[in-house]
Amino acid sequence: MSNSTSVQSVDRAIAILEILARDGASRVTDLATELDVHKSTAFRLLSALEQGGLVEQSGDRGRYRLGFGVVRLAGAATARLDLSGESRPVCLRLAEEIGETVSVAVPRNGDAVNITQVRGPAAISGHNWVGQRTPSHATSSGKVLLAFGALRPPAELERYTPNTITSADELGLEEIKERGWATAVEELEVGLNAVAAPIRGSDESVVAAVSASGPSYRLTQERLPEVGATLVAGANEISQRIGYYG
């Protein structure tokens, strides 16, 4: 199948979902007519969408409607948007209080991905991490997600600096879980330190991590326990704002 044909199929599949969202339910022949395709083409697209749980056959034989898979995807997207929006006021306060850049990261495809960030008040406050994937074993947020089971350790732990931990046994995940926060001391970049705490969702599982990062001469190792405690309190507040009541 050529790229153009693949794109056309995706466009038609999206069109089917939009039609079903508009009409509630529709027959194969009606969908084929609206899409200006042969009935067999419409049926093939519906079959693929049905396998993915995005459409299902309604009680009225021959008619299709949106499936539960759409609800699942919408729920995931809504949860991500809620987390970003609800965490921002807390991050603003934490950045001012700690004096460093504060970020929220979520697990994605084995890495930690930052979805929101508030820069600290200092002139040197680091670069923009939003949308960037960062290695779990070399970041404080990633270690939190590893410790609480939101991520699994990668098969190979790549070295980024002389301080990068390259053995899963030496990450100290049990200690992080007991303590409630994690650190990264010049493990991703030389001269960059960070500390993070877990954010929990309504089902009590850890869904994200809030971190503070800054230059090692300012966010010193001596400060990390104090900042960790501040982030734990902030993480608890974010957790409550997104539905955790533990």
Tens digits of residue pLDDT in 73-91: 765 555 555 898 899 999 9
209 inside domain: yes
Spans of the chain below 50 pLDDT = 1
pLDDT of residue 61: 67
Number of domains making up the chain: 2
Among the candidates 42, 66, 90, a domain finishes at 66
> What is the span of the domain harbouring residue 117?
78-241
pLDDT of residue 130: 80
pLDDT of residue 9: 85
How far apart are the C-alpha atoms of 180 and 196, rounded to whole Å?
Answer: 9
pLDDT of residue 243: 81
pLDDT of residue 57: 87
| Same domain for 82 and 7 | no
229 inside domain: yes
Q: The domain that contains 87 carries what CATH number? A: 3.30.450.40
pLDDT of residue 76: 58
pLDDT of residue 133: 87
pLDDT of residue 142: 97
Among the candidates 66, 98, 116, a domain finishes at 66
Residue 177 CB neighbours (<10 A): 16
| Same domain for 108 and 52 | no
Query: DSSP of 12-38, one letter per residue?
Result: HHHHHHHHHHHHS-EEHHHHHHHHTS-
pLDDT of residue 232: 98
pLDDT of residue 146: 98
38 inside domain: yes
| Same domain for 121 and 17 | no
pLDDT of residue 75: 57
pTM of the model: 0.69
| Same domain for 165 and 89 | yes
pLDDT of residue 186: 98
Residue 246 DSSP symbol: -
Backbone dihedral angles phi then psi of residue 122, each to the nearest 5 degrees: -70, 155
246 inside domain: no
How far apart are the C-alpha atoms of 140 and 146, rounded to whole Å?
Answer: 10
71 inside domain: no
